[in-house]
């Protein structure tokens, strides 16, 4: 064994010991976590659907309520429809800039959140994705207070992922985990169209 290999081995053994010690000190959470995916970069919704895939892999029960996006045909929607294992509700009004009636938008967001609250309280789900709900709060279709009140009444077993840019600070303070996706380099800026599969 070369010297390099030997020092690599020692370093890796030390790292392994540290890792085991760290893990042994951690405790299981007593309830499903609240995760927020925000920021101007890509990956907020797709990573929520990746988390859904993980949960399904462990045979957990997953629900999705999509705020804002409705009319657009998305790959994720087609995939999960075909799979038939996920309860899926869409607010059903298309992008906000496709509707021009604020009162209708508010009513749609409220109805969608009513559905979400029902699912969170039911105890039937391990994971619920509230996709783009931060946008509904940003436009004041939903208040952050009512969203937090809804999260508070969720069943102990249920984790919730809330996605969308411009997450409210009060929601971030309430959440167990907040991840910000930052756009470092984006093809749209270079004049390239959104692509099936990658972008929707």
Instruction: Tell me which residues in 83-112 interact with a second copy (CB under 8 A).
Output: 83, 96-103
Tokens in use for 150?
Answer: 């809804």
CB of 157 to a second copy, least distance (A): 11
Q: Using CB under 8 A, which of 3, 26, 153, 156 touches a second copy?
A: 26
d(CA 53, CA 189): 30
Question: What is the number of other CB atoms lying within 10 angstroms of the CB of residue 122?
Answer: 14
The three-class DSSP label of residue 36 is strand
d(CA 125, CA 191): 41
Query: According to the binding rule CB under 8 A, does residue 47 interact with a second copy?
Result: yes
Query: According to the binding rule CB under 8 A, does residue 28 interact with a second copy?
Result: yes
Q: Using CB under 8 A, which of 71, 78, 149, 152 touches a second copy?
A: 78
Query: According to the binding rule CB under 8 A, does residue 148 interact with a second copy?
Result: no
Judge whether 197 and 74 are in contact, CB under 8 Å: no
Query: According to the binding rule CB under 8 A, does residue 149 interact with a second copy?
Result: no
Query: According to the binding rule CB under 8 A, does residue 16 interact with a second copy?
Result: yes
Q: Which is nearer to a second copy, 121 or 180 (CB)?
A: 180
Task: Judge residue 175's burial from the number of C-beta atoms within 10 Å of its C-beta, 0-12 exposed, 13-18 middle, 19 or more buried.
Answer: buried
**CA distance to 56, 81, 96, 166, 199, per residue, from 88 (Å):** 14, 8, 20, 24, 20
Query: According to the binding rule CB under 8 A, does residue 182 interact with a second copy?
Result: yes
CB of 24 to a second copy, least distance (A): 10
Query: According to the binding rule CB under 8 A, does residue 122 interact with a second copy?
Result: no
């Amino acid at each position: 064994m070369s010297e390099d290999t030997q020092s690599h081995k020692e370093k890796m053994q030390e790292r392994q010991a540290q890792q085991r010690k760290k893990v042994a000190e951690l405790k299981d959470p007593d309830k499903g976590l609240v995760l927020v995916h925000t920021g101007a970069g890509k990956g907020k919704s797709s990573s929520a659907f990746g988390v859904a895939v993980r949960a399904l892999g462990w045979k957990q029960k997953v629900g999705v309520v999509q705020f804002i996006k409705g009319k657009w045909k998305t790959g994720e929607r087609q995939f999960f429809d075909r799979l038939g294992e996920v309860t899926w509700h869409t607010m059903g009004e298309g992008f906000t800039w496709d509707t021009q009636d604020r009162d209708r938008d508010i009513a749609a967001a409220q109805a969608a959140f009513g559905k979400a609250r029902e699912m969170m309280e039911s105890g039937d789900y391990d994971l619920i994705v509230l996709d783009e709900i931060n946008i509904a709060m940003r436009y004041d279709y939903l208040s952050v207070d009512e969203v937090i009140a809804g999260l508070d009444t969720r069943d102990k077993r249920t984790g919730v992922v809330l996605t969308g840019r411009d997450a409210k600070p009060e929601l971030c303070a309430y959440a167990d985990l907040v991840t910000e996706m930052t756009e470092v380099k984006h093809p749209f800026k270079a004049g390239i169209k959104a692509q099936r599969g990658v972008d929707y």
